[in-house]
Every structure is written in structure tokens, then in C-alpha cells.
Chains A and B, each alone.
Chain A
Amino acid sequence: MPLERGQHDLGGLPGGPIDLEEHELLPWHKMISAVFTVMRLKGELTIDELRRCIEDVPPDIYDGGYYERWTIALTDLMVEKRLITRDEVDSKMAELRAAREAAE
């Protein structure tokens, strides 16, 4: 049985026109890149591990944008490697959200 093409395996598929508009990177785009890069250089995780997790995110996340799938994939990888837990992520997000709302 032939292998099914992965969602990341785009080479040669038909596609529409390329949107050439340049967009400014948002601060969190650089932040997630920085967090990953530092952990990679310190040997906590590898680029191939992250790549596998990016390829495995749900299709709606995969289609939802580059840094969006990175962020989900990095969460998945850190949980898989037991560097963090899902509960810790949820708690921290709730804490940050509350702090942000209090500041508004």
C-alpha cells in the first residue's frame, strides 16, 4: 500500500498565486523562535524533534499559520519530553491572562 502523503509534504501539489505582501514579524513570533533556539542550543531538544511535532499537529493548526503550528508543536514536544505538563501550561496561561486583564 502506498504511503499516504503527509500534510507537510507539499512539493508538486497544485497551488494558487503566491501572496508577495511583506508582513512585519510580531514580537511573539520572535519570542517563540528565541525560546526554541535557546533550548535547542542547550541540547534540551532537537530541530528534527520539533519538525516531527510540526508535521503531526492537527490539520486546522497546520493550516493556521507558521508560528501558530510552531507554538503548538513546541508545546507538544516539551510535554512529550516531560519538560512541562499540560496542566502547567493551562495554569500559566490562566495566570498570564488574569494578570493582563487586571492591567487593562
Chain B
Amino acid sequence: MTGDTHDHGHDHGDRPVLTYADDSVHDRNETGHFELLTDALKELSIEKGLVTATEVREYVDFFDSRGTEKGAEIIAKAWTDPAYKDRLLADGTAAAAELDIPMAGAELVVVENTDSVHNVIVCTLCSCYPRTILGLPPDWYKSKSYRSRTVNEPRAVLTEFGTELPDGVALRVHDSNADMRYLVLPKRPAGTEDWPEERLRELVTRDSMIGVAPARDPA
């Protein structure tokens, strides 16, 4: 694969308005090129002793099984345990480790939504995401439109997710990087005061922990 052929109809010196279609890969991959390349890299890595087949399989299983459950566990505990919440906001990495959730080399910073502040997370430079907590990121999080627009028109972006913030609420945008991942602590929904931690977890959605939506309404 080389970069010599370059006939996709626009000039990079004069960037077009980005659309999600720019991210679409389905046509290219119909040939199976990238799948084949992935298999080749895996095979060569095993042959050269850089990795073992078992190690790779363990991580495929990890990515297969890891959804947003660990995130929901963190958030529901913070909602019900004020001391844990304090520790979580002070040092997210250590508070995640308390629940045996590794950060795999990155720092975790948890930001709290309140009646006056709403937080939303993006990674403008790549697609950094707290994978050990939320699994692999959704396509829209990696899209050029989300990455480009969230820092300069975040309210318009939230509107596309159906989230309208009241006027008096400040909106803070957090730009992640390879070494620092953010997680939003959403507001605990009203009417859940008597709920146990296990039940509260069901209200914690992926989108609420990225900050594009509130936690699920119990009603």
C-alpha cells in the first residue's frame, strides 16, 4: 500500500467540510486487504516470538467481553458511597484500581456533572478512550465530525444526541490524549434515592459516561 495514488476528488491543501462519509471504509475493505494484513501481522508476530497465540486470544476475548459494565460499577458506587466519590474525583486511576479495573498505562480523570456544570469528552487528535472501563469506542466517537466539532460547537453536538442543556449550565469539554483518559460522572437521576447500587448500575449508559447524554431516566 502506498500513498501515490491520490484521486479521491478533493484537495488536501484546501480541506473540505468533513463528513462522516470520509470515515467510511466499507468499500475499501470489500477486498479484505486490511483483514489479510491484520492476519499477516498477527502470524508474523507469533512466528518471531513477539507475542504468543494465547496472549492475543486472551485480548480478543477481553475486547469481545468488555462493555460498559465496569464504568457503570464505578459510577453507581460513586453515587452511593460519598467517600468513594471523593477518592474517584481526586485520583481516578487509584479509585478504578480499588475495583480491580486497570488503566493500562494511562491516567484516569473523572469529571462530575452537577446542576450547574455539564462535562463532555472528546479526543480531537486521535480517539483516546477509557477502553478498560468502557470497551472499544463507538464509531461516532472516532468520526471526524465529532472530533472536529465538539471543541467549538459542543452545544450543537449535544443537540444531535438529543441532549439540550438548560441555559444556566456551563459546558466543559475535555480533550483526551494518549496518556490521560476522561470519564464523566453523570448526575444521579431524581427518584432513585432508595435504590441499591446494583440497580443504579442499570441507569448508567455509555453515552452518559462520555457526556453526550444524561443517565437513564428511571421513570
Q: Which of A4-53 contact B (CB under 8 A)?
A: 7-23, 25-35, 37-42, 44, 47-48, 51
Q: How many residues of B contact A (CB 8 A)?
A: 68
Distance, CA A15 to CA B122, complexed state (A): 15
Q: Which of B137-155 contact A (CB under 8 A)?
A: 138-140, 142-149, 151-152
Q: A63-B23, A66-B23, A83-B48 are in contact. Are A31 and B148 (CB under 8 A)?
A: no
CB of A92 within 8 A of CB of B44, answer yes
Consensus secondary structure, chain A interface: helix
Q: Total A-B residue pairs with C-beta atoms closer than 8 Å?
A: 196
- Which bracket fits the contact residues of A? 35 or more
Residues on A with C-beta less than 8 A from B57 are 34
Distance, CA A7 to CA B127, complexed state (A): 14
Q: Which of B173-219 contact A (CB under 8 A)?
A: 175, 178
Q: A13-B15, A39-B50 are in contact. Are A25 and B136 (CB under 8 A)?
A: yes
**Is A104 interfacial (CB-CB < 8 Å)?**
no
Interface residues of B (CB under 8 A from A): 1-3, 5-6, 8, 12, 15, 17-20, 22-25, 28-29, 34-45, 48, 50-51, 55-60, 62-64, 104-105, 122, 124-127, 136, 138-140, 142-149, 151-152, 157, 160-161, 175, 178
